[in-house]
């Protein structure tokens, strides 16, 4: 009986910790608007105003859907040496970059909306 109770308590604590972490990753609505503006102004300069490509590759949902989030976050923050892709770490944190990647993958930031 005590073993099941302890397991239940540990499971609930783990789930609570996970949900708190998820809440921390999602930026506030104001920050989401700032990040959307950032993507269109800064990223759109090379990736196209509708994010369909230009000097940089397309950032549409179709082109981003299968790309690993962790890799895209790293590219956003650190850039790609030897290319025009700068690192945005001075302006964005990891949570910002994660939100941007997920929003791009879901089509929330592409020019069709």
The mean pLDDT values, 10 residues at a time, for the chain of 113 residues are: 39 40 72 97 95 96 96 98 97 98 94 51
User: Which pLDDT value is given to residue 12?
Assistant: 42
User: Which pLDDT value is given to residue 44?
Assistant: 95
User: Which pLDDT value is given to residue 111?
Assistant: 60
User: Which pLDDT value is given to residue 32?
Assistant: 97
| CATH fold of the domain at 28-105 | Cytochrome Bc1 Complex; Chain D, domain 2 (1.10.760)
Looking at beta carbons, which pairs linking 87-95 to residues 24 or more positions away fall under 8 Å?
Answer: 88/42, 91/38, 91/42, 92/35, 92/38, 95/24, 95/25, 95/26, 95/27
User: Which pLDDT value is given to residue 24?
Assistant: 54
Distance CA 19, CA 53 (A): 36
**Per-position DSSP letters for the chain, written without gaps between them:** -HHHHHHHHHHHHHHHHHHHHHHHHSPPHHHHHHHHHHIIIIIHHHH-TTSS-SSSPP-SHHHHTTS-HHHHHHHHHH--TTSS----TTT--HHHHHHHHHHHHTTSSSTT-
User: Which pLDDT value is given to residue 110?
Assistant: 79
**Domain segments of the chain: what residues?**
28-105
CB 71 within 8 A of CB 80: no
């Amino acid at each position: 009986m005590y073993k099941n109770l302890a397991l239940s308590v540990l499971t609930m604590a783990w789930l609570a910790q996970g949900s708190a972490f998820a809440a921390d990753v999602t930026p506030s609505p104001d920050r989401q608007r700032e990040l959307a503006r950032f993507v269109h102004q800064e990223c759109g300069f090379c990736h196209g105003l509708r994010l369909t490509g230009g000097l940089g590759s397309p950032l549409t949902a179709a082109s981003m859907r299968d790309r690993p989030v962790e890799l895209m976050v790293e590219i956003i923050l650190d850039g790609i040496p030897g290319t025009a892709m700068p690192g945005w770490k001075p302006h964005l944190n990891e949570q910002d970059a994660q939100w941007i990647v997920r929003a791009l993958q879901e089509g929330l930031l592409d020019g069709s909306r």
